[in-house]
Structure formats: structure tokens, C-alpha cells
């Protein structure tokens, strides 16, 4: 597996691959890899001849007071996971390589999409996401890029950006990978102590309650959301950031839910903010 630290190194390798007619898949990550990331690499290896994964903790998507400095980093472990799952090259740039002195260009989706859900409490977050992902697209020139459905808003925003900016890239969403008790795999799970880890299952339990209601024919969003809030509020360590029902593509609020719509949540367990979601009818 190649470890590339510069834009030039990545481009030189990818150009050679493409000269040989090989397809390229990209898996963008911030490292601290878990089974969810690994599943993206597996999907990319199954769908493409060559796989590039980026490991870069992107500072432009962190807001003031967020966990940029404490975000978990273990590059050697990440490389082991990536190589085991069939990754051919890791792009591990420095901040200076991605944002050199004088850097001043950003990609901003000027849509209500980025003001919903996580965008409400994390202003500027999706500007950072769109900027770094568009840079990765330009650097790697992939045929397909793979993202987890756990970050449903991010996935929807990137699909919109790709459409608007005419990127010739297929965006592939991959299912959320969960622990045995339902907790979605996340790099931030490592912040949880034993008591908080047990409490964190309340997110999944609230979604299971809502899913059961939809199967019984309930489509009223307020009813579903109230039931989820009741479950989450029963856990003393949980504090709700949001629990909302939105259109699966536009992310705008919905009052009556139909197949393909999204129920998404962000909940603090102690000081750790966790996100999760489910798609109605999936």
C-alpha cells in the first residue's frame, strides 16, 4: 500500500493507473478508523480496480470550541485497517499541504440544506466539508466516492454539490455499521466512559420505537418525534441537540413522512455529541 503525503504524489500514481484503464474509488476519512470506515473501503475495493483513502483531520469543518485538537488520531493503526481491506493508496497530507499560506478559496453550498439538522448548531461545518471534499475530488480524480449513510446530511449535501458542480463522480452511500447493541460505529464513541457507553444506546432504542410506529402506519412526524424524545429524555446522561424528520433529498422539514424520508438526531451523551438516523421504509 502506497502512503502519499503530497498532492503531486497522489496525482502521479492515479494518472498511471488511469493510463492503464483502471477505475479508482475514493474513501475520504478523518482517520480514527472503525468498522464503518472499513466497510466503505471494502465496498470501494469491490466496485473499483484501485482504492484511495484519505486520512486527514480537516480543520475547516470544526467550529470554535469543537474537538479538533482532541480528535482521535492513530495513523499506524488506520493504515493496518486500510491495507487489510484492500486499499491501494493512503493520502495523508499535512494541513499546510491542503491549505498552504494564503489559501482563500472555499466551496459553500448556498442552500437551506446546510442550515438544517447539524447545520443549525455547527455553522460553517458544511462549508469546510464541501471545500475539502471538492479538493479531494480534484486531487484524486476518482470514478466513485464512498460515504457512510450515518452522516446522512453530509451525504445529501455532497450529492447536491456533485450535481451542481458537474463532478463526473458517482457518489455511493453505504449502510451504517452498528455495534451489537445498536450503537452506530463512530470515532467519537472512544470519548465515552463505561456509563456513557451504556447510555448511548438510547439513540438506537428511540429509533427502533419510531420505526415500529411507521410499520404500524404512523406517518405523522410530530407523533414519531415526540415518541423518540420521550425515549431519549428517559436517559439522565442524554441531552437532545435535535431530533427531526426531513425530506431525504432536500433535508427540509416534513409533517407527513413517506418512504425515503429521513429521521435524524444528534444527542449529547455527557459531553460527547453523537448522531444517528434512519430512512423511512428502508
Residues belonging to the active site: 37
Long-range contacts of 76-84 (CB under 8 A, 24+ apart): 77/33, 78/29, 78/31, 78/32, 78/33, 79/1, 79/3, 81/33, 81/37, 81/38, 81/41, 82/1, 82/33, 82/41, 82/53, 83/1, 84/38
Whether 27 and 53 have beta carbons less than 8 Å apart is answered as yes
Whether 119 and 153 have beta carbons less than 8 Å apart is answered as yes
Whether 28 and 116 have beta carbons less than 8 Å apart is answered as no
What does the DSSP 8-state code read for residue 280?
T
Helices (H) and strands (E) in the chain, counts: 10, 9
Amino acid at each position: 500500500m502506497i502512503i502519499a503525503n503530497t498532492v503531486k504524489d497522489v496525482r502521479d500514481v492515479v494518472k498511471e493507473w488511469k493510463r492503464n484503464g483502471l477505475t479508482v474509488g475514493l474513501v475520504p476519512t478523518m482517520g480514527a478508523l472503525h468498522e464503518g470506515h472499513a466497510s466503505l473501503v471494502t465496498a470501494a475495493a469491490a466496485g473499483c480496480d484501485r482504492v484511495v483513502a484519505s486520512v486527514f483531520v480537516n480543520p475547516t469543518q470544526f467550529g470554535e470550541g469543537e474537538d479538533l485538537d482532541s480528535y482521535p488520531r492513530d495513523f499506524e493503526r488506520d493504515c493496518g485497517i486500510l491495507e487489510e481491506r484492500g486499499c491501494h493508496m493512503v493520502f495523508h497530507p499535512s494541513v499546510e499541504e491542503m491549505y498552504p499560506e494564503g489559501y482563500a478559496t472555499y466551496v459553500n453550498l448556498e442552500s437551506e440544506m446546510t442550515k438544517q439538522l447539524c447545520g443549525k448548531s455547527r455553522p460553517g461545518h458544511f462549508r469546510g466539508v464541501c471545500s475539502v471534499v471538492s479538493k479531494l475530488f480534484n486531487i484524486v480524480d476518482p470514478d466513485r466516492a464512498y460515504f457512510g449513510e450515518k452522516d446522512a446530511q453530509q451525504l445529501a449535501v455532497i450529492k447536491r454539490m456533485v450535481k451542481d458542480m458537474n463532478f463526473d463522480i458517482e457518489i455511493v452511500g453505504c449502510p451504517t455499521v452498528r455495534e451489537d447493541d445498536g450503537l452506530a460505529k463512530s470515532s467519537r464513541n472512544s470519548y465515552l466512559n463505561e456509563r456513557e457507553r451504556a447510555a448511548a444506546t438510547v439513540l438506537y432504542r428511540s429509533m427502533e420505537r419510531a420505526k415500529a410506529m411507521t410499520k404500524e402506519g404512523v406517518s405523522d412526524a410530530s407523533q414519531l418525534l415526540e415518541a423518540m424524545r420521550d425515549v431519549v429524555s428517559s436517559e439522565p446522561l442524554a441531552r437532545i441537540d435535535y431530533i427531526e424528520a426531513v425530506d431525504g433529498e432536500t433535508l427540509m422539514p416534513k409533517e407527513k413522512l413517506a418512504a425515503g424520508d429521513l429521521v435524524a438526531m444528534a444527542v449529547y451523551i455527557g459531553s460527547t455529541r453523537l448522531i444517528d438516523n434512519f430512512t423511512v421504509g428502508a
